[in-house]
């Protein structure tokens, strides 16, 4: 069966997450339903990562197996037609080998978290950013984030429901930028690693926000990490500002 890689963008707000669920809308379910309009059978697709309810994506990657050979452009156009009106788009499609896998062939994932610091509620970007009312120190958050770079036991920063075999992960990058888009000061957290634990990004950003607000010292992040105790973590921030931005492969199928 011909295999195709799909570059997927979606607004996570209407969905209970990526993974197909029997009684709730999911991104996986929406794409599989669109595929069934093209080839009338049950479809199962695999993704590079399972995002939670409310989490968005600009660069999620999935793969599907089809019975007939499709021109990749025509397949993406047909899927986008049948995905309407769901806020899901196939940005690109590429034919890949039978042994290529959206999850297992990936060597890195890149996430963005957007945090808006202003007292007024977010209106135009509601559900797309995490709004906090207190001012934040960029330098303090950068100092706190530095303790998380490299290979560590991230038990402190993973959900108790995490199913990963090991809490040891290597954080390749945490880059924090401050910008003003006209809506107020926005802090953008860029995180890059081969793979992430469940709720790891939201746990890290929630903890760093406490550092930026002055409730934690930057050194407290290292102390929390070293306890390997979930109770030592700062608050887990909401999913609103989290985006899966991209997935890295040795041979980029969309290049």
The catalytic residue positions are 52
101-112 burial, b for 16+ CB within 10 Å, e for fewer? Answer: bbeebbeebbbb
Cβ 211 vs Cβ 135: under 8 Å: no
Is beta strand 88-96 parallel, antiparallel or unpaired with respect to 242-249? unpaired
Residue 104: both structure tokens together: 């297992």
Kindly report the backbone phi and psi dihedral angles of residue 232, in degrees, each rounded to the nearest multiple of 5, phi listed first: -85, -10
């Amino acid at each position: 069966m011909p295999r195709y890689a799909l570059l997927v963008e979606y607004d996570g707000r209407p969905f209970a997450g990526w993974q197909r669920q029997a009684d709730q809308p999911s991104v996986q379910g929406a794409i599989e339903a669109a595929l069934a309009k093209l080839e009338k059978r049950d479809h199962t697709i695999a993704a590079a990562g399972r995002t939670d309810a409310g989490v968005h994506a600009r660069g999620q990657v999935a793969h599907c197996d089809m019975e007939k050979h499709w021109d990749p452009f025509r397949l993406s156009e047909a899927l986008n037609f049948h995905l309407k009106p769901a806020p899901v788009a196939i940005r690109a499609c590429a034919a890949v080998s039978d042994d290529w896998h959206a999850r297992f062939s990936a060597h890195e994932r890149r996430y963005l978290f957007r945090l808006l610091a202003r007292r007024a509620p977010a209106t135009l970007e509601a559900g797309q950013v995490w709004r906090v009312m207190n001012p934040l120190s960029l330098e303090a958050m950068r100092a706190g984030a530095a303790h998380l770079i490299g290979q560590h036991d991230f038990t402190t920063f993973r959900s108790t429901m995490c199913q990963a075999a090991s809490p040891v992960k290597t954080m390749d990058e945490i880059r924090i930028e401050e910008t003003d888009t006209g809506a107020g000061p926005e802090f953008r957290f860029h995180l890059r690693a081969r793979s992430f634990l469940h709720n790891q990004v939201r746990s890290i950003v929630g903890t760093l926000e406490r550092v930026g607000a002055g409730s934690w010292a930057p050194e407290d992040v290292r102390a929390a990490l070293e306890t390997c105790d979930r109770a030592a973590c700062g608050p887990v921030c909401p999913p609103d500002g989290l985006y899966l931005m991209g997935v890295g492969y040795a041979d980029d199928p969309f290049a």
